Amino acid sequence: MSDQLQPGSKAFCSGVYKVIHARQHAESHYVILLFGEIFPPCTECSQAVRFELAVSAVHVNAHPRFARM
């Protein structure tokens, strides 16, 4: 598996992802996606934007030590 994910891919884990824009029209920044969510295209660089997992995390509702309310 590549370290960089592209728009249309599903997040393989919940976490914080670094966003890398093509043509450097914007500084890199971070976004949060939950497991199974789809990485979106950028409004400017479209399908050329890439995502890298920075910090994985488990959503509180999926963690076995926390009961759902």
Write down the domain spans for the chain: 1-69
Q: Is 64 helix (H, G, I), strand (E, B) or coil?
A: coil
- For residue 57, the model assigns a pLDDT of 95
Evaluate whether 51 touches 4 at the Cβ level (below 8 Å). Answer: yes
Task: Give burial (CB, 10 Å; 0-12/13-18/19+) of 24.
Answer: exposed
pLDDT tens for the 69 residues of the chain, in order = 468 999 999 999 999 999 999 988 999 999 999 999 999 999 999 999 999 999 999 989 889 999 776
